[in-house]
Amino acid sequence: MFLSGRTVLGLIAGSAITVLGAGTALAAEDYYGSLALGLEPGAIIVGSGVNYPDQEGADVRALQECGVDNCSIVVQFRNACGAVAVRGNEVAWAGGYTRVEAEQSALAELGPDPSPLLVSLGSATPDRAHILASECAG
């Protein structure tokens, strides 16, 4: 079971989730990865660091790649994957043993997309959830 997180744009708070993949007995070493999330006016910035020999190296790289002052590590993974999904002003992140599992978990954290029929009865335009970034280490 993996943890996940969600936020409405404007504040990224809380602690990062950590995903530990099941390594094989023959694996020579572990590979670490991180996803960092930051906000700029009108933009969501994601930085990644993958396939590092330690978690600290992956974290440092993800924060550097994110590049804005308010970046925070939201997903850490070892021999596994992480993903960030977005819908409108909501952002969610999750991890999984595979890229598909991480992406599906991040999308699920946002909940189902609004029904186009119900939205068409009002004035809102439906926002569809989509994957902003996903990475795997190992």
Q: Tens of pLDDT along 35-94?
A: 999 999 989 999 999 999 999 999 999 999 999 999 999 999 999 999 999 998 899 999
DSSP 3-state of 67: coil
- In the chain, what are the domain boundaries? 4-136
Confidence band, pLDDT 50/70/90 cuts, at residue 3: very low
pTM of the shown model? 0.79
